Amino acid sequence: MAVRAVRGATQLERDEREHMLDRVAELVRDVMSSNDLHVDDFISVIFTATSDLVSEFPAYAARQLGFGEVPLLCARELEIDGSMPRVVRMLAHVDTDLPRAELTHCYLHGAAALRKDLTRTREVPDDE
């Protein structure tokens, strides 16, 4: 096993608690399924949120998925002029046998435009 870092992000349509929890849970589940990961494979997860998201801590969504024993941290994203609004980013440190080149970094909804160079993206319909 090696320690690897997996990235991801999602964009919210609005700053509402349930919408935040749904989008972040979707992101975490997508990172897990895309990389064949289980909760026990996670060493730690850092979430950042843009300053226009204040309805809930993104880490709470991960706790609801069983991440209670995984160290989680929330932080504020830098406020850069012209940056994408309503974005939650995720940086997860995991134990995996996957080589770096085979990791799938997951960027969902509008956030798919953030790192086309880094990831195989999939646009998720709003009703999913």
Domain ranges within the chain, ordered by starting residue = 2-113
Contact 86, 13 (CB under 8 A): yes
CATH number for region 2-113: 3.30.1330.40
Burial class (CB in 10 A: 0-12, 13-18, 19+), 117: exposed
| Cα(23)–Cα(27) distance, integer angstroms | 6
Ordered alpha helix ranges (H), 3-120: 17-34, 58-64
User: pLDDT tens, position by position, for the chain (128 residues)?
Assistant: 899 999 999 999 999 999 999 999 999 999 999 999 999 999 999 999 999 999 999 999 999 999 999 999 999 999 999 999 999 999 999 999 999 999 999 999 999 888 777 655 455 555 55
3 state DSSP class of 84: coil
